[in-house]
Amino acid sequence: MNKFGLIGFPLEHSFSKKYYLEKIENEKLKGYDYDLYPINKLELLHELLKTENLTGINVTIPYKIEVIPYLDALTEEAQSIGAVNCIEFQKTDNKVRLIGHNTDVYGFKKSLIPLLSKGTNKALILGTGGASKAVEFALKALKIEYKLVSRTRRESILSYNELNKKLINSYNIIINTTPLGTFPNTEEFPDIPYKYITNNHICYDLIYNPTETKFLKLAKKQGAKTKNGYEMLVLQAEENWNIWTK
């Protein structure tokens, strides 16, 4: 039996279990299972690995960074971002090495590409938390110039107060990596001057619940192309599966 699972805490609203169990059933895959492991401290990971005989793990909040010391190696993406959302169990010479991957990069990059125009593409990344690091890595790979935006002005990071008409017009992609607008706080949204957004803009929200955040609604009202994070989630989930079953 190939058993995969998700570690994090809490996990009540996890996308992963439903997605993978439906995949196993719909594709009539034999010898696979997936479950949730809501561990309230990461020290319990060692015990989990001993008792559950897992062959692949997803990692979510709050352990994407904390899990790194437990691993034997990291991919280039995971090393650069400093966060892991997928652990590969690499078996060699009767030993198992734990390899940390970050498939959020793959999911975001592949879901963004169809939206890009042939003209100049420059991006504003709203937020500087862990999710923004994967977006930065993907934009670098796509050779898209970007600026980070945060509540506080820092070196090379803009503040929300600095976003004027000229800046918004200069950056045709706006990506929300903050949790603002996530269910149940659906009336929250990043404080940017939406009146300067036009039909030349792409507005992308990493949030997938709700399917249309206030950020996306306000951008759509201005004529922008919009996209939520659901396809990114599906793409990274499929990449995790490819890593585990290759």
SS (H, E, C) 68-127: HHHCCEECHHHHHHCCCCEEEEEEECCEEEEEEECCHHHHHHHHHHHHCCCCCCEEEEEC
Which one, of 52, 105, 130, 140, lies nearest residue 243 by Cα?
105
Task: Check if the beta carbon of residue 243 is closer than 8 Å to that of residue 101.
Answer: yes
DSSP single-letter state for residue 175: E
Quick one: how many helices (H) and strands (E) in the chain? 8, 12
* Structural tokens at position 44: 């319990």
- 64 as an active site residue: the answer is yes
Nearest by Cα to 203 from 123, 113, 109: 123
Q: Which of 23, 30, 50, 64 is catalytic?
A: 64
Residue-wise DSSP of 114-161: GG--SS--EEEEE--SHHHHHHHHHHHHTT-EEEEEESS-BTTEEEGG
Active site residues: 64
